[in-house]
């Protein structure tokens, strides 16, 4: 038997679906060339850059990676590197102990099991240390053009405010968005949502007054209602 919450979600789904087309059109107009802002030349470089980007700006990562990629051109090179040396190379990205361990362990597995190559498979990627669904989808979408929705903090926040999901868990948000967004739009949609989160729908002070998505935003509607009640 379905719970009241599950029934409510199904009843609301057609309402949400009706505004998705308008949101996608506006995102195309706002961010027509949105793409991955991490610098990389191959799947391994993208994997490393994405791990480094956790709790760090892409700009900072892009300052660190050119020298890093030159010093460690293969998965074997990372696997054989002294952990302390790798930590020093990535120190400025923050959380460098855990990031170095993840990169080293993941690259050891890649070297031993995949001949140093990055598998173009979600299930294989998420088995690697430090690689969750978000990072796996970044790699698949940008290195292999395999559709997936990247749910980072920006995508989570924007999707919740637009009323595209009521979930807080990234995996559940991903499932909600996959149900709403056409598969062929998943890669571009992820980039556009990230850009929107950075430029307008910021965490602390969202620019709702000037946001083109305002007519379709639950957060803005609730904010307007609060103002009218005061």
In tens, the pLDDT along 214-227 reads 999 999 998 877 76
Per cent of the chain over pLDDT 70 is 92
In a domain, 124, yes or no: yes
CATH of the domain at 188: 1.10.1670.10
Catalytically annotated residue among 19, 111, 152, 176:
152
pLDDT tens, 85-113?
A: 999 999 999 999 999 999 999 999 999 99
Query: For the chain, what is the domain count?
Result: 2
In a shared domain, residues 47 and 137: yes
Do residues 87 and 96 make contact, with C-beta atoms less than 8 angstroms apart?
yes
Claim: this prediction has a pTM higher than 0.85:
yes
For this structure, is 121 an active site residue?
no
Distance between CA atoms of residues 95 and 110, nearest Å: 22
Range of the domain at 54: 43-143
Whether 134 is catalytic is: yes
**Considering 143, 166, 199, which residue would you say is the last residue of a domain?**
143
Same domain, 105 and 128: yes
Active-site residue (options: 70, 134, 169, 171)? 134
Q: Are residues 136 and 49 in the same domain?
A: yes
Do 98 and 58 share a structural domain?
yes
Residue 35 within any structural domain of the chain:
no
DSSP calls for 213-230 = TGGG-HHHHHHHHHHHH-
**Residues 131 and 155 grouped into a single domain:** no
CATH of the domain at 123: 1.10.340.30
Question: Distance from CA of residue 173 to its chain's centroid?
Answer: 12
Regions of the chain where pLDDT drops below 50: 1, 7-8, 10-11
What does the pLDDT look like over 155-170, one tens digit per residue? 999 999 999 999 999 9
Query: Is 112 found in the same domain as 53?
Result: yes
Let me know if residue 36 belongs to a domain: no
Q: Encoding tokens for residue 119?
A: 């598998």
- Count the Cβ atoms, other than its own, within 10 Å of residue 34: 19
């Amino acid at each position: 038997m379905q719970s009241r919450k599950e029934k409510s979600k199904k009843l609301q789904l057609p309402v949400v679906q009706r505004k998705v087309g308008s949101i996608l059109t506006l995102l195309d107009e706002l961010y027509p060339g949105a793409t991955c802002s991490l610098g990389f030349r191959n799947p391994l470089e993208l994997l490393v850059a994405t791990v480094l980007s956790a709790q760090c700006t892409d700009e900072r990562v892009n300052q660190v990676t050119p020298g890093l990629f030159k010093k460690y051109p293969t998965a074997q090179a990372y696997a054989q590197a002294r952990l302390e040396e790798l930590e020093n190379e990535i120190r400025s990205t923050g959380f460098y102990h855990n990031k170095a361990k993840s990169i080293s362990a993941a690259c050891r597995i890649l070297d031993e099991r995949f001949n140093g190559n990055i598998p173009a498979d979600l299930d294989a990627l998420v088995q690697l240390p430090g690689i969750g669904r978000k990072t796996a989808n970044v790699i698949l979408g940008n290195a292999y053009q395999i559709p997936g929705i990247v749910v980072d903090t920006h995508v989570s926040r924007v999707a919740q405010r637009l009323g595209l999901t009521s979930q807080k868990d990234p995996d559940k948000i991903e499932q909600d968005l996959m149900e709403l967004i056409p598969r062929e739009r998943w890669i571009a949609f992820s980039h556009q949502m990230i850009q929107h989160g950075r430029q307008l729908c910021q965490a602390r002070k969202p620019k709702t007054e000037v946001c083109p998505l305002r007519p379709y935003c639950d957060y803005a509607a609730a904010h307007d209602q609060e103002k009218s009640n005061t």
